[in-house]
């Protein structure tokens, strides 16, 4: 799978495929294996005031491929990185 496929992947479909799960109050980062390495799918539901991800929602941000599962930021760090780089709305901005 490629980044384009992952950008459309709803949370309920991505969760069972996750190789690593990063969780904090800002959301969840699911690390999945795909074409060329690992991809981080960030579901930043906490930023929107929600307590849990909506199963049908696509990720708010996708990054990758990376060579290691350990190369991905925690959701809190990713949300702040996005803000620092001009992404103020978390509505699948990676498209």
CA distance 8 to 59: 7
Each residue's pLDDT tens digit, 22-78: 999 889 999 999 999 999 999 999 888 899 999 999 999 999 999 999 999 999 999
In Å, what is the CA distance from 15 to each residue of 11, 30, 32? 6, 7, 9
How many residues are given for the chain?
Answer: 95
* The pTM of the whole model exceeds 0.85: yes
Comparing C-alpha atoms, which of 64, 87, 60, 54 is closest to residue 75? 60
Banded model confidence at residue 7, pLDDT cuts 50, 70, 90: very high
């Amino acid at each position: 799978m490629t980044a384009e496929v992952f950008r459309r992947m709803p949370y309920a479909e991505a969760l069972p495929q996750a190789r690593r799960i990063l969780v904090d109050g800002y959301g969840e980062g699911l690390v999945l294996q795909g074409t060329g390495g690992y991809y981080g799918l960030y579901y930043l539901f906490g930023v929107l005031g929600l307590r849990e991800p909506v199963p049908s929602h696509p990720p708010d941000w996708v990054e990758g491929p990376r060579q290691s599962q350990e190369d991905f930021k925690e959701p809190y760090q990713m949300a702040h990185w996005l803000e620092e780089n001009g992404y103020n709305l978390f509505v699948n901005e990676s498209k």
